[in-house]
Structures are given as structure tokens and as C-alpha cells.
A and B are shown apart, each in its own frame.
Chain A
Amino acid sequence: MNDALILRSAGERIALAVPIKGLLAVSGLSAVILGIVAISLMSGSYPLDLPGVWATLTGVPPEETASTVVWQFRFPRLLAALLVGALLGLSGAILQNVTLNPLADPSLVGVSQGASLAVVAIIVAFPGADGPLRPLYAFGGALVVAAIIQWIAMKRAGGATMRFILTGIGIAAFISAITSAMLTYGQVDQALSALGWLAGSIHAAGWGEVRMLSLLTVLLVPAVIWAVGPMRALRFGPDMATGLGVAVRPARIILITLAVALAAIAVSAVGPLGFVGLIAPHLARRLVHTGLGLQLVLTGLVGAVMVSGADLIGRALFAPVQIPAGIVTALVGVPVFVMVLLRSQTRTQL
């Protein structure tokens, strides 16, 4: 690591290697996020200038409307976008590291579809039951589908990566069909509310979603920090990981469950957002190569930039028509996915 700044103190008894490039990337991304925050809070059908936004945030709004617009609509929406992006990015990074599969993504392996099915089923079948428990349903659905895919894909040895992806595509098609059938079957108003959620739209996010997202994120962050150790070992393959003292099977199951949980929370708040979990880890790696811990931080930041940026583009591009962020991430994500596909090496059995 020649690009690290080494700090020594106390007679060389304590030394700390600071990866300069990594920290530069972190601060750069943070600056980008700040920029997106500023633009998001300023722009919209009620435009504000920067001092106006600052005044509103610090408690002296220029007008009463400004306070409502910023605090009730723009700010929670922005926070939700940032949190969702970070969660999806982390989920994708963990999935890719554990399965050693550069194409693993919460939506490509059916997790998003499982969460969607559970939530739509609840919205359509028990209209009253939706609400604070939504993340729980989403998590349950996602976990069941992830388990089914693992079970089917692992049945036979060899070619597991390929079977994993194809099985995921098949299950995704199956579950989307059930979801569509539910939408046909359900009452029109419930179906419409489910449909809006399904497009992966952040515009409905309010403080309730933000509270839920931030609470669960805070709960899961220690788990992610813990996960860095076993993930670092698993990156070398199962044999090496065993040699390094990691119980491979339990570690895999726990890590995949963690990834599913992260994605399910994000999906339950704003609906399925495709391709973020797939791309954020690749972009973070492209940005700078660092240790796994810092890489995860970078991936979370990249994910936050992607989703908040997609939301901003979606509402600014064709204003007053609002494009759901899920559409923007898909339009940006597919070309990147194709690039990843073209660069993939034959050893991943493509």
C-alpha cells in the first residue's frame, strides 16, 4: 500500500495506515452528495435560492410556504433517497462478495420481486394491515424468495453461478406474473396504490418512511461492520476462508440474510429500485481500490448519490411530469450492466 499515509506515534508503538485515495474519494462523494442535497432542496415547482434554503433549515423561513415545502416534502424525500441508495448499494456489495458473482443484485436474483409480491399481496388482500409492518412483510417475502433461489440453484454441484442467475431470472418472471395477477384481482384503488409503489417512486416518501429507514439502518450498521471480517475471508474462495478460520456455510447464510434484509428495507420504503445494488459496487471499485471496509463505505455513498441523483433527474427532466426514480436507475443501469457483462471474465462461467 504505497498510496497510504502512515501515521506513527508513541515511539512507533501505534501506527495507522491512512489510505489517502480512499479518503479523497469519500470526501469527494460527500461533496457530491452535499451538492445534490442543495439542488434538491432548491428546485421544484416552488423554487428557492440557496440562502432561502439555509434560512428555512435553520428555522427562519422567508415564507410560511417555504417551511412547508422544504420540511414536509423535499427534505424527507431527499433523506429517503439517500438512505435507500446506501442500503441497496451495501446489499449489492455484500451479495457480490459472498457469491463471488459480479452480476449479483437484489433485483436480478429475485429479492426485490419477493418483497414486492409480499407487499402487494398485503395491500390487495388486507387493505387495513399495510403500514408500519410493511418492512417486515417485505423482508419475509424477500427472504423466502432468496431461500428458494438458493435451494434450487444449489441442488447440483458445478456451474452454480450461472444456475443462480438464471434461476433468479425465472423466479423473477414467475413472481412478477403473480404480482400482476394480484393487481388485476384487487380493488381498483388498492391496485392503484400498489402500482405507484411498484414503479419505484420516492415522491411519496414522508417522515414516516425516513424514520423507519433510519431506525433500521442504525440497527443494521453494526451487523455490516461485523460482516467485513468474514467477507474479507470469503473473497478468497471457500477453501481459503476455511483455512482462515471462517465457518463458510453459516457465514454465507448470515451474510446473504443480511444483504436480503438491507434490500428489503429499502424496497419496503420506496418500492423496487432496479440496478442500484448491481452498479454501485462496480462504480465504487472503479473509483478507487481500497480495503473492504472503506470500499463498503464508498459503495454506500455511491448508492446514495445514484438514487438521490436519479430522483432529482426524474423530477427535473420532464417537469411537471415526475419520472419515478426506478425508471431513471433502470435507464442508467442497463448500459452499465451491459458493460459489466462485456468485461466479465470467463472464469465466472459466463
Chain B
Amino acid sequence: MSRALYLGPPVVIGGILLLFLWHIAVGAKAIPLLTVAQSFWAFDQTEFDHVVIRNLRLPRAIFAISVGASLSVAGALMQGVTRNPLAEPGLLGLLAGASFAVVAAIGFFGLAAPGWIPAVAALGALGGAVMVWTIAARVPGGATPLSLILSGAAVTAFLGALITLMQLMDEQTFESLRVWLTGTLAGRQMDVFLWCLPWFAAGLLISFAVARQVTALAMGEETAIGLGVDIARLKIIVLICVVVLTAASVAVAGPLGFVGLVIPHVARLLVGSDYRLVVPYSAGIGAAYLLLVDIAARLVLAPVEVSTGIVTALLGAPFFIWLVRTRL
């Protein structure tokens, strides 16, 4: 652990920086890394590449970092508190709830002001989580990983059908949402992100603050009580954190599945089960991971761009199956 403490942060931060530069360089027109660097040190308004970087590629890279970090931290907290290796915003219905709420708000109530989107998404994520939890808790045998995932799948299928229904009723309004619903970092405007920024910041900061208590809870409820943790309060705080982080991510990038599942496991593999380390490492590795995924999404089938959400599912689903085979 001590080695991880000294070596880890520089490696992770260095990795993020490298991927960040690469991410900006890649695209419909490859921009040399030197130009990318110049656009930061010496921004030239008349240089076409510099304008592209400022207006299109830089925002996208920042989205990737914030969303990757947030979804991973949300997944880490959920896995720690529920002691369920398969917990994740996507599998447990939070992503579906948030997407449904956003689609309904924009399509049905004409709520297009960017400031409202994260709030609406948070309501939806909370609704999805409560629905899944209520169903799973009433299944004979209680909220086991299996019953949680099954109710998550059911809620996701139901909300997905409702989303399709709304799309069919009003195809024009939803045309712009179609790509967003597959999970993509492209096309979002900076204003939505700025509205989400406080949500990202608050969610991540509170997560770092409660990480120590999550470690205690991950060792079992009795241990946590013995260590003086107020369990009910902690669970509510964690739920709020998870909902806030998920909502901001969905508002920026749509539903990106499996990010919150994969990264916390990788982080635990590297730094052990102390959530004071797992949470920040999840944030760092998650940011790097989503940068990498978004690079792949643009390179694999170039010149066609695949949705980021498709790539996260392609990478995450086999990991999920592997977890099912080894951890259950």
C-alpha cells in the first residue's frame, strides 16, 4: 500500500495527461501533438486547428474525464456500501431512470433549459434506484446480487420501452436525443456541462470525504457499528452522492453502461480494499479509461464514429460475465 501511495498518483495523473493530449489529437482530422500543445501555450485565433481544439475537442476531453471519474466513483461507493460486486449505476437502473426523466422532461414538458437537466436526471436516477431496490428487497431471499440485477434489468427494459414509446409519438423532438441515448461524448454543448460542474464537484468531494466510513461498512454492518459509524446516515449520504454523480454524467454523456462496474474492481485490484484509496483511484483510472474508450470509439471504425456507450458495453459486458463466473 505504501508503494501505491508514493508511485500511484504520479502514474495515474501522468497517464491521464498523456491520454488527454492523445484524445485531443485524434479525430476526423489528426492534429499533431505539437499543435495541440501550442494551442494551449500560444492560442492563435486565426489557426483553424486551434479553434477546433478550443471549441470541439477540449470540451469533449473534459467531458470524458468528468464522466469517467464520476461513474467510477459512483460504482465504487455502491459496491462498497451494498457489498455487492455487481453493483453499478447502469445495472441497477439509475442510468435508465435518469435517461427516462431527461427524455420525458425535454420531449413532453418542453424543458430544454440546460440548468434543469441535471436536476431532472437526479430525480430520475433516484426513482430508478428506489424502484429496483424496492422490487429486489421483496424478492424471497432479499436483495441478493441476482435479485438486484434482475430487477435492474426489468426496470431498464420497462423504462426503455417507455422511451421508445415517447420517441414514436413525436419523432422530430427526439431526433436529437437518439444519439445521446446510446451514450456519447460528442455533440453536447459546454453550457450543459457548466451547469453540471457543481454537481460533479459536490458529488466527488463528498465521496472522498465519506470514503473512510465506507471502508468500515464494506467490512460488514456490525464492524461498522462497532467502529462508530452511523450506518443509516452514511447510506443516505452515499445514495445522494451516487444519484448526483450519475445524474450529472447522464446529463453530459447519456447512459454509459458498465464504467462503474469495471473501474472499481481494477482499482481494488491495484490498491486493496481501503476505500480511502479505492475512491480516488477509481476517479483517476475511470477518467483515463473513458478517455481511452473515447479514443477507441473514434479510431476503430474510422471515419465512422461509434457511440462511446457501445464501446463501454463491449468492454464491460465480458468483464461482467467474468465477475459472475468468479465472484458468485
Chain A residues with CB under 8 Å of chain B are: 103, 108, 152, 155-156, 159, 162-163, 165-167, 169-171, 173-174, 176-178, 180-181, 184-185, 199, 274-275, 318, 321-324, 327, 330-331, 333-335, 337-338, 341-346, 349-350
Contact for A170 among B141, B161, B318, CB less than 8 A: B318
Assuming the A-B contacts A184-B304, A321-B168, A341-B151, are A163 and B140 also in contact, with contact meaning beta carbons closer than 8 angstroms in the complex?
Answer: no
Task: Digitize B301-319: 1 where CB-to-A-CB distance is under 8 Å, 0 elsewhere.
Answer: 1001111011101101110
17 A-B pairs (CB sep. < 8 Å):
A152-B321, A163-B328, A166-B86, A166-B328, A169-B149, A174-B321, A177-B309, A177-B314, A181-B310, A184-B301, A184-B305, A274-B157, A331-B162, A334-B157, A337-B154, A346-B141, A349-B146
Count of chain B residues near A, Cβ 8 A: 45
A180 touching B321, Cβ below 8 Å:
no
Instruction: Please report whether the interface of chain B is mostly helix, strand, loop or mixed according to DSSP.
Output: helix
A342 touching B150, Cβ below 8 Å:
no
Interfacial chain B residues near A177, Cβ < 8 Å: 309-311, 313-314, 317
Q: Is B27 an interface residue (CB 8 A)?
A: no
- Complex formed: what's the CA distance from A190 to B166 in Å? 24
- Complex formed: what's the CA distance from A332 to B18 in Å? 49
How close is B272's CB to chain A, nearest CB, in angstroms?
Answer: 26
Interfacial chain B residues near A327, Cβ < 8 Å: 161, 164-165, 168
State which residues 140-180 of B face A: CB under 8 Å.
Answer: 140-141, 144, 146-147, 149-151, 153-155, 157-158, 160-162, 164-165, 168-169
Q: Is B58 an interface residue (CB 8 A)?
A: no
A169 touching B153, Cβ below 8 Å:
yes
B313 touching A350, Cβ below 8 Å:
no
Interfacial chain A residues near B155, Cβ < 8 Å: 334
Instruction: Please report whether the interface of chain A is mostly helix, strand, loop or mixed according to DSSP.
Output: helix
Assuming the A-B contacts A152-B321, A180-B310, are A162 and B135 also in contact, with contact meaning beta carbons closer than 8 angstroms in the complex?
Answer: no
Of all chain B residues, the one with the shortest Cβ separation from A337 is B154
A342 touching B141, Cβ below 8 Å:
no
Assuming the A-B contacts A170-B324, A330-B161, A341-B154, are A184 and B318 also in contact, with contact meaning beta carbons closer than 8 angstroms in the complex?
Answer: no
Interfacial chain A residues near B304, Cβ < 8 Å: 184-185
Interfacial chain B residues near A274, Cβ < 8 Å: 157
B317 touching A338, Cβ below 8 Å:
no
- Complex formed: what's the CA distance from A333 to B157 in Å? 10
Chain B residues with CB under 8 Å of chain A are: 86, 135, 138-141, 144, 146-147, 149-151, 153-155, 157-158, 160-162, 164-165, 168-169, 182, 257-258, 301, 304-307, 309-311, 313-314, 316-318, 320-321, 324-325, 328
- Complex formed: what's the CA distance from A333 to B162 in Å? 13
Assuming the A-B contacts A152-B325, A199-B164, A318-B169, are A173 and B301 also in contact, with contact meaning beta carbons closer than 8 angstroms in the complex?
Answer: no
Interfacial chain B residues near A343, Cβ < 8 Å: 140
Assuming the A-B contacts A159-B328, A344-B140, are A165 and B165 also in contact, with contact meaning beta carbons closer than 8 angstroms in the complex?
Answer: no
B301 touching A338, Cβ below 8 Å:
no
Assuming the A-B contacts A163-B328, A344-B140, are A174 and B154 also in contact, with contact meaning beta carbons closer than 8 angstroms in the complex?
Answer: no
Assuming the A-B contacts A166-B328, A321-B169, A331-B161, are A338 and B154 also in contact, with contact meaning beta carbons closer than 8 angstroms in the complex?
Answer: yes
Of all chain B residues, the one with the shortest Cβ separation from A330 is B161
Interfacial chain A residues near B317, Cβ < 8 Å: 170-171, 173-174, 177
How close is A22's CB to chain B, nearest CB, in angstroms?
Answer: 29
> In the complex, given contacts A103-B150, A173-B257, A327-B165, what are 20 additional A-B residue pairs having Cβ atoms less than 8 angstroms apart?
A162-B146, A163-B324, A165-B150, A166-B149, A166-B321, A170-B317, A173-B313, A173-B320, A174-B313, A180-B307, A181-B310, A184-B301, A184-B310, A185-B301, A318-B169, A322-B168, A330-B161, A331-B161, A341-B139, A350-B150
